[in-house]
Amino acid sequence: GQLKQFFDEDETPDVVVVSGYNANTKRLHDVVYDFVSEYGISVKSEFDDGSSQLVKVIWGQDETARLYQNSERAKKEFPDKPTLVKYAISLGRYLQDPLLEYITLGDDILSLTFHEHQKLISNDLVKEVVESAFVDLANAVGVDINESVRDSRLAQTLKYVGGLGPRKASGMLRNIAQKLGSVLTTRSQLIEYELTTRTIFINCSAALKISLNKSINVKDFEIEILDTTRIHPEDYQLAMKMAADALDMDEESELHEKGGVIKELLENDPSKLNLLNLNDFANQIYKLTHKLKFRSLQAIRLELIQGFAEIRSPFRILTNEDAFFILTGEKPQMLKNTVIPATITKVTKNHHDPYARIRGLKVVTPSLIQGTIDENAIPRDAEYVQGQVVQAVVLELHTDTFAAVLSLRREDISRAMKGGVVREYGKWDYKAEDEDIKREKAKENAKLAKTRNIQHPFYRNFNYKQAEEYLAPQNVGDYVIRPSSKGVSYLTITWKVGNNLFQHLLVEERSRGRFKEYIVDGKTYEDLDQLAFQHIQVIAKNVTDMVRHPKLREGTLSVVHEWLESYTRANPKSSAYVFCYDHKSPGNFLLLFKVNVSAKVVTWHVKTEVGGYELSSSVYPNMLSLCNGFKQAVKMSSQQTKSYNTGYY
């Protein structure tokens, strides 16, 4: 009855927004929605075609209303209204102007949570970011300056306009009230009546909107229509020129002189501006003024077609999932498959039969979500009474009805208690998860590998660190065979390359009938002894030959690099090259050379193999052929660029 009386006596609203303190608000939402549908409560169309549509009943975001209802500001604005009415007023204001509702919160806005990890940073930083967003939005939306003079609440947005601030904004409003009788007719009056400085005017004027309404009782020619747009006053002449060109109007026209050309365009057809060639216009301006104005011309065209059009993202109407979270504090995706306490409100069974089984339960959660528990989700040997609190697991959740299906079965509760990880898209690091899985699998494989018993005198149950410590006092070429972390089908052979240098070779073990074969670096061996003799010892010999060569320099790469630089400075007419250990890839070497004293040091990689040394995809059987091959490669390279001395020392 009261609801029908409200719609009968008051003007039909454009929209009904519903929110509240808990999940019981869903009942109110459904009542209002059903009433509007049943009685056909409609909003009159803006057009004269007689069409209409039902009043929308939507969920409202109430985070600002919850702060406003008990604030000192609410007490001053509505001292005789109850708290619930103040809450409803703020809900409506939020729907009309969300930006203003957030701005008017002041420092209370720090009580809101914009991000789940917001508490990890200081309030000062949060406030700085929020105020930066206010500045961006206030300048994008614009501020009606005359409305701000009349309404102190609306005036709070003005301080976020570019070039202003709390002090300058309040000073501007005070000057308008004192010198112009609280009505600013044109933006130019800010300068004409010395209401602000020129610099401030240039910075803020484009965001100050002057609406044309009945309160401005002036002659038409005194009104500047462009003041209702985002066009900056310094571009008004460009706007009038564009309007005149769009209308094919002579620049000496009387309308053009009075600025009436803008009004003529708006009343005629603003879309004619789309026919203008802005590129040519911008080029002409640049030739005359050396100013780039193409972007400005585009903005002017847009503003003349639809002045101060909304450029923010569309207002997002809350979904049932959003409302569910607001009213219950529960995230649907987090609530499923979790164990929660529930109070039994109804037990369905044959109460006249003492042996009758319970057919179902009605429950309510602490967040007032209504739940049902079916017969097959109730343990057979259990007895329950109304008012009893039980632990139940959420099987299904329906955010459209704020209802849930739960289970009391021990196996369901046990499974839910084990927990699970919600892999939320955009937050879960799947790459890190894969790496963790591989790492754990490698640990398991290493444990399995350690249980192996390889019948070989050089086999040890070592990890790589233990193997290196064991080989440290041994001779170059000595080795141990050890388990591989890659699994039971692999072995690792660690051999000593040099002082504190060890190479770890991965060996794959395959079964071939009754026999086994071992594969390393693409080569296959019948047993471990053959592998050690024909692979490791051969490579070790090649390493020894390299180490004994007069061109090898020991030390780190930087030390060898500095030696080569010093040598070429001392012998400026000679080229030089030198070998050194590749500490990043033990068992291999680096070849550093300079073609002259002013050239940069060039580094080539030399890989030690069974067949010799690989350099630039070519394999050389010994050190002599390697050095000759290197010189030949440099000579061929020099012929393609420019000639230089190849007489290496």
CA 345 – CA 44 distance, rounded (Å)? 45
Q: Looking at residue 644, what is its pLDDT?
A: 42
Average pLDDT over residues 228-243: 84
Position 57 in a domain: no
Residue that finishes a domain, picked among 480, 501, 530: 530
Is it the case that residue 48 has pLDDT exceeding 60?
no
| Percentage of the chain exceeding pLDDT 90 | 23
Mind listing the pLDDT tens digit for each residue in 25-47? 999 898 888 888 888 877 765 54
What local confidence, expressed as pLDDT, does residue 85 receive? Answer: 92
pLDDT of 204 > 60? The answer is yes
Q: At what angle do helices 236-246 and 278-289 cross, to 10 degrees?
A: 140
Q: Beta strand 42-44 with 52-54: parallel, antiparallel or unpaired?
A: antiparallel
Q: Is residue 381 in a domain?
A: yes
Residue 6, pLDDT above cutoff 80 = no
User: What share of the chain in percent tops pLDDT 70?
Assistant: 89
Judged by average pLDDT, the poorest of 281-285, 451-455, 601-605, 618-622 is 451-455
What number is the average pLDDT over the span 337-364? 84
CATH code of residue 612? 3.30.505.10
The residue range of the domain holding 590 is 549-642
200 lies in some domain:
no
Residue among 508, 480, 506, 483 at smallest CA distance from 494: 480
Q: What is the pLDDT of residues 242-284, one digit of tens each?
A: 888 887 776 655 555 546 777 777 777 788 888 878 888 888 8
Cα gap 118→581, rounded to integer Å: 51
- Among 418, 435, 465, the domain boundary falls at 418
Radius of gyration of the chain (CA): 41
Residue 532 DSSP symbol:
I
pLDDT for 220 = 46
pLDDT at 214 over 70: no
Same domain, 410 and 331: yes
For residues 484 and 571, membership in a common domain is answered with: no
Question: What pLDDT was estimated at residue 221?
Answer: 43
Confidence band, pLDDT 50/70/90 cuts, at residue 135: very high
Among 10-19, 229-238, 259-268, 418-427, whose mean pLDDT is lowest?
418-427
CATH number of the domain to which 351 belongs:
2.40.50.140
Model pLDDT for residues 61-94, shown as the tens digit of each residue: 989 999 999 999 999 999 999 999 999 999 999 9
Does residue 561 sit in the same domain as residue 519?
A: no
Query: Do 493 and 556 lie in a common domain?
Result: no
Instruction: Find where tokens 């009349």 sit.
Output: 150
Whether 526 and 557 map to the same domain: the answer is no
Answer yes or no: is pLDDT of 606 > 90: yes
Least confident of 125-129, 155-159, 215-219, 637-641: 215-219
The answer to whether residue 608 scores a pLDDT higher than 70 is yes
- Overall residue count recorded for the chain in this entry: 649
Tokens of 536: 């490791």
Specify whether 601 is located in the same domain as 573: yes
Beta bridge partners of 44: 52
Do 336 and 384 belong to one domain?
Answer: yes
- pLDDT at site 453: 67
Where is pLDDT greater, at 611 or 639? 611
Are 404 and 480 members of one domain? no
524 & 559 share domain:
no
Number of H helices, E strands in the chain: 25, 21
pLDDT of residue 316: 86
Which pLDDT score is estimated for 448?
Answer: 57
CA 545 to chain centre: 56
Tens of pLDDT, residue by residue over 508-526, are: 988 877 788 899 988 898 8
Please report whether residue 133 resides in a domain: no
Specify the pLDDT at position 591: 93
For residue 159, being part of any structural domain is answered with no
Please give the mean pLDDT across all residues of the chain. Answer: 84
Domain shared by 405 and 327, yes or no: yes
C-alpha closest to that of 491 among 473, 517, 466, 515:
517
Phi first, then psi, for residue 229 (nearest 5°) are -120, 175
Band of residue 194 on the pLDDT scale cut at 50, 70, 90: confident
- Residue 524 placed within a domain: yes
Q: What is the pLDDT of residue 502?
A: 93
- 635, part of any domain: yes
Mean pLDDT of 133-161: 89
Across 571-596, average pLDDT: 90
Contact between residue 454 and residue 481 where contact means Cβ atoms under 8 Å apart: yes
In the chain, the amino acid numbered 268 is N
* 526 lies in the same domain as 553: no
- Does 163 fall in a domain? no
User: How far, CA to CA in Å, does 395 sit from each of 337, 364, 371, 407, 413?
Assistant: 6, 15, 10, 7, 10
- Cβ partners under 8 Å of residue 318, min gap 6: 58, 59, 60, 61, 326
pLDDT surpasses 80 at 451: no
Instruction: Give Dmax over CA atoms of the chain in angstroms.
Output: 114
Q: How far does the chain reach from its first CA to its final CA, in angstroms?
A: 108
pLDDT, residue 38, reads: 83
Taking the C-alpha atoms of residue 40 and residue 54, their distance in angstroms, rounded to an integer, is 6
pLDDT of residue 296: 83
Q: Tell me how many domains the chain contains.
A: 3
pTM for this predicted structure = 0.59
C-alpha dihedral sign at 340, 61, 155, 202: positive
